[in-house]
Amino acid sequence: MSVCDTTTPKRPRWRAWLETDTPQSVRQASLQETWRKVLYFRSQPLGMIGLALLLLLLFVVVFAPLLATHNPIAQDLDARLLPPSAQYWLGTDHLGRDVYSRIVYGARTTLRIAVLVAIIVAPLGLVIGATAGYLGGIVDEILMRITDVFLAFPGLILALGFAAALGPGVDNAIIAIALTAWPPIARLARAEALTIRQADYIAAVRLQGASAARIIVRHVMPVCLPSVTVRVTLNMAGVILTAAGLGFLGLGAQPPWPEWGAMVAVGRQFMFDYPWVVAAPGLAIAAISLAFNLLGDALRDTLDPRIG
């Protein structure tokens, strides 16, 4: 092992394939583009921390039965409000349920809400925003006024109304949150589309005789996608907090099934004497919200088209 050893270790084949400057197919070229983004993302420590936290959350969700030390809904009234110990890692709540196991299982609810809301909100906002922005005129007016109506309500209040009307439960909470979360995405996509529609490369596509639908789907939406992705990621923190808020108010996940917001709500009564009941789920919510924010910031830098 000499210091002045100049021979670089041989790159594996897949890496050479990803870094060659003469790609052989569109697929290879787009994978190369993704690879460049990955390399750039890896250079952002805060983004990596956010990603690591979210991967940890995913790990917990997948392996919840193996990670939990107790049954999350089994009550043991002899072991009420016990402090953290070797047996109950994060203590027990007022019904003697293990807080750690409840947090592990509660992660499933949280991730389910976050993922489903993102799946509903991102395409909806993207389609509405890109269509309104590109077509303009009367279509834009109608779509944006509808968006304004939804924007006029405070998110949590509208979600409350929907959850109350549709009945409490996680699925209804997801629908309620999604209904309040799409307008900012649509606004953002519209703003992007408004600038893109003036671009020469869109004029060039029009000059090929392409239909408006084709232009929106194949040319406008892909350009809007990075900023929408970033926005949705950053919104996830808010979504999780809204979900926790609904849970806190009793309109989210229903007892006895664990949900972080509901756990905080219950633990509130014992906050001063038995702080771990509130602290653990509260910290979990804070950590995951933070993780989504860190990831969103890093993604914004990574997906910026100016970074090639």
Partner 1 sequence: MIELEVRDLTVAFGPERQRVRAVEDVSFAIARGACFGLVGESGCGKSTVLRVIAGLNRDYGGTVSLRGTPVPPRRDKAYYKRVQMVFQDPYGSLHPGKTVYSQIMGPMLVHKLAGAEQRVDRALEAVGLGTAFRFRYPHQLSGGQRQRVAIARALALEPEVLLLDEPTSALDVSVQAEILNLLADLREREGLTYLLVSHDLAVIAHLCEELAVMDRGRIVEALTRDQLVRGETKVDSTRRLLEASEELGEDRLPPEAPR
Task: Give the integer Cα–Cα distance in Å for 79 and 69.
Answer: 15
Residues 164-193 that bind partner 1 (CB under 8 A): none
Tell me whether residue 6 or residue 25 sits nearer to partner 1 (CB atom): 25
**Shortest spacing between CB 222 and partner 1, in angstroms:** 5
Residues 54-83 that bind partner 1 (CB under 8 A): none
Burial of 257 (0-12, 13-18, 19+ CB in 10 A): middle
**Shortest spacing between CB 37 and partner 1, in angstroms:** 12
Structure tokens at 278: 């509130």
Among 1, 5, 208, 272, interactor with partner 1 by CB under 8 A: 208
Q: How many residues bind partner 1 (CB under 8 A)?
A: 28
**Shortest spacing between CB 26 and partner 1, in angstroms:** 6
Which x/- pattern, by CB under 8 A, does the window 10-29 give for partner 1? Answer: -----------xxxxxx-xx
Q: Say what angle helices 99-135 and 137-152 make with each other, to 10 degrees.
A: 150
**Shortest spacing between CB 233 and partner 1, in angstroms:** 19
- Distance (Å) of CA 239 to CA 7, 151, 170, 214: 51, 15, 13, 32
Burial of 154 (0-12, 13-18, 19+ CB in 10 A): exposed
Q: Does 138 bind partner 1 (CB under 8 A)?
A: no
Task: Give the integer Cα–Cα distance in Å for 125 and 186.
Answer: 4
**Shortest spacing between CB 41 and partner 1, in angstroms:** 17
**Shortest spacing between CB 207 and partner 1, in angstroms:** 5
Our measurement of the distance from residue 220's CA atom to the centroid of its chain's CA atoms, rounded to an integer in Å, reads 23
Task: Give the integer Cα–Cα distance in Å for 270 and 255.
Answer: 18
Structure tokens at 15: 């890496």
Residues 216-235 that bind partner 1 (CB under 8 A): 218-219, 222-223
- Distance (Å) of CA 2 to CA 10, 91, 257: 17, 54, 60
Q: Does 200 bind partner 1 (CB under 8 A)?
A: yes
Tell me whether residue 70 or residue 219 sits nearer to partner 1 (CB atom): 219
Tell me whether residue 201 or residue 272 sits nearer to partner 1 (CB atom): 201
Q: Does 136 bind partner 1 (CB under 8 A)?
A: no
Tell me whether residue 200 or residue 273 sits nearer to partner 1 (CB atom): 200
Among 19, 33, 148, 171, interactor with partner 1 by CB under 8 A: 33
- The stretch near partner 1 (CB under 8 A) out of 40-48, 70-78, 82-90, 213-221 is 213-221
- Distance (Å) of CA 153 to CA 157, 180, 209, 247: 7, 8, 41, 20
Identify the residue whose tokens are 């009945």. 167
**Shortest spacing between CB 243 and partner 1, in angstroms:** 33
Tell me whether residue 51 or residue 223 sits nearer to partner 1 (CB atom): 223
Going by C-alpha positions, the residue among 256, 262, 212, 226 that lies closest to residue 110 is: 262
Tell me whether residue 26 or residue 66 sits nearer to partner 1 (CB atom): 26
Structure tokens at 55: 């991967």
| Amino acid at residue number 189 | A
- The stretch near partner 1 (CB under 8 A) out of 91-99, 179-187, 211-219, 249-257 is 211-219
Task: Give the integer Cα–Cα distance in Å for 140 and 197.
Answer: 13
Interface contacts to partner 1, rule CB under 8 A:
21-26, 28-30, 33, 199-201, 203-210, 214, 218-219, 222-223, 305, 308
